[in-house]
Amino acid sequence: MSKSVISARISWPVAFALVALLIAIVVVIIFLRVETWPARTARQSTVELERLGKDLRDAFIDIAHLQPRITINNRVYMEQTTPVSELVVLSRRIEVEHELLHTWVGSSKRVKLHGTFIAKAGFDLQQNLSLDIRPQEIVVQLPHAQILGIEQEQVDILAFENGLWNRISGQDLQGELSMLPQLAWKKAAETGLPAEAERTLQRQLDERIHPPRPLHLVFRNGGNREQ
């Protein structure tokens, strides 16, 4: 028998064995990739959510000077820190007037004041602020916005008229001055300043973060401040 025939008889079984070995290796690789795919996907998803959590943390530090409590898929990722107690997101100038007109035994006194105030609306950060990052959405829970303060800018006396025996007292003037901030506080609330502050925060977060998934602000009822 020639050497070429013997060589052919030997090479064919070797070739088949090599092909079978290669097929087995490919099958094993595919099997391992399929088996580990859920774990790898979960790891990649977790890394992505953690990266998003850091971006959100940085955004809140820039906007609110605090780090909220962050959870990722119901697992606490970062605890809340509150270096400040309030987040003011909106300020508006408020103008109010109040008049005292009093007549006694035919003698009248009249005081009319005009006040200009700066009303500040925002959030009380002494209440919990939490951020939950979920696969399909981002949920930020915080208290409803409220009027945080009223600062007097200017007070003008529009009328100061004494009667002959019905004179304006210091108590009268003090009472009228104390009414102006209360009226400014009420006017700021009635004009929808807290609701506008909530919309402003939503817009600031959207512009700062550009979230890859919907970001929802969920407002909880809290104690309202009163002047």
Residues 168-203 have pLDDT tens digits of 998 999 999 999 999 999 999 999 999 999 999 888
Mean pLDDT throughout 122-136? Answer: 79
> Shortest CA distance to 127 belongs to which of 13, 208, 222?
222
pTM of the predicted model as reported, rounded to 2 decimal places: 0.67
Domain positions in the chain are 53-220
Q: For 62-74, how does the pLDDT look when each residue is reduced to its tens digit (9 = 90+)?
A: 776 777 777 877 7
Per-residue DSSP letters for 41-91? HHHHHHHHHHHHHHHHHHHHHHHHSSB-EEEETTEEEE--B-SSSEEEEEE
DSSP for residue 192: T
In this structure, what token pair is assigned to residue 201? 């925060």
In this structure, what token pair is assigned to residue 149? 């303060």
Mean pLDDT throughout 100-115? Answer: 92
In this structure, what token pair is assigned to residue 56? 């959100």
Cβ atoms of 92 and 116 closer than 8 Å: no
